[in-house]
């Protein structure tokens, strides 16, 4: 079946540093790539998404890049803050599965003050 | 707009009992997706429904699990004769039109614990 790989599984950075999380996907027809942030015991919240017709999107301290040739996309968080600490999930559309999302296994980001 | 509403937030069942999880999508959304999350794991797709129709149930176990989304009322995920391995967080998400590049909005989830 289709798959999304996410790395690293854990990431620890100092406050103010940048954090980068990378994902690869297998469904070459995927056209939508969202990123979700999940705090402990809470719902996954959409923080940024990108569609296949663009290569980069930025929203304040968060940016996402997409390389369709390599089937690779990344989340970049600059000037990290302690409140950025959470688990981050990437996802890609499963075009063979009527459009549901396939999620990576998550990256636990810890931002140390 | 109250967002996607799930209840109960926590559900405790003994082995062999039935579990019913409810999900009301966001206002104006007619497409519902159920996902299961095990500890330290990502979200695994289970089933995708539109009002009165199951569109894709490829991620849902064939036995003991069923889902519905009636014309009136919330979507229901039903697990019969629960076993310890069913313990997980079950999240529901909704979207307006079910297109492949549409945003999904998640509910707060139901934490199912099977004793």
What is the tens place of the pLDDT at every residue in A48-84? Answer: 999 988 899 999 999 999 999 999 999 999 999 999 9
Residue of B113, B104, B97 lying closest to B14 (CA atoms): B113
What is the signed CA dihedral for A101, A3, A39, B114, rounded to 10 degrees?
A: 90
Spatial separation of the C-alpha atoms in residues B49 and B29, rounded to whole Å: 11
A104 CA: distance to closest CA in chain B (Å): 6
Question: What pLDDT shows up at residue B2?
Answer: 72
Q: What is the pLDDT of residues B63-99, one digit of tens each?
A: 999 999 998 899 999 999 999 999 999 999 998 877 6
- Yes or no, beta carbons of B106 and A51 under 8 Å apart: no
For residues A23-39, average pLDDT = 93
**Residue A61 has what pLDDT?**
97
The reply to whether residue A102 touches residue B98, judged by beta carbons under 8 angstroms, is no
Handedness of CA B63, B69, B74, B75 (dihedral sign): positive
pLDDT at B42: 85
* Each residue's pLDDT tens digit, B24-68: 999 988 899 999 998 878 899 999 999 889 999 989 999 999 999
Q: Do A51 and B45 touch (CB under 8 A)?
A: no
The per-residue pLDDT for A58 is: 95
CA B44 from centroid of its chain's CA atoms: 11
Smallest Cβ–Cβ distance between B103 and the set A34, A94, A104 belongs to A34
Using the beta-carbon criterion (under 8 Å), do A101 and B45 form an inter-chain contact? yes
């Amino acid at each position: 079946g289709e798959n999304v790989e996410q790395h690293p599984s854990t990431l620890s950075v100092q406050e103010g540093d940048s954090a980068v999380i990378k994902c690869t996907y297998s469904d070459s027809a995927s056209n939508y790539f969202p990123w979700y942030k999940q705090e402990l015991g809470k719902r996954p919240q959409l923080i940024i998404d990108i569609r296949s017709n663009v290569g980069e999107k930025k929203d304040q301290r968060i940016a996402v890049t997409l390389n369709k040739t390599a089937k690779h996309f990344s989340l970049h968080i600059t000037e990290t803050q302690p409140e950025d600490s959470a688990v981050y999930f990437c996802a890609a559309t499963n075009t063979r599965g009527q459009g549901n999302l396939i999620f990576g296994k998550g990256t636990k980001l810890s931002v140390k003050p | 707009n109250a967002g996607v509403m799930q209840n109960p937030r926590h559900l405790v069942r003994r082995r062999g009992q039935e579990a019913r999880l409810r999900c009301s999508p966001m206002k104006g959304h007619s497409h519902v997706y159920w996902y299961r999350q095990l500890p330290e794991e990502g979200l695994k797709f289970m089933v995708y429904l539109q009002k009165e129709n199951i569109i894709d149930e490829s991620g849902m176990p064939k036995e003991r699990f069923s889902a519905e989304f009636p014309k009136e009322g919330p979507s229901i995920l039903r697990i019969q004769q629960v076993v310890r391995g069913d313990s997980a967080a079950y999240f529901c998400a909704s979207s307006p039109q079910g297109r492949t590049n549409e945003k999904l909005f998640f509910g707060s989830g139901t934490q199912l614990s099977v004793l």
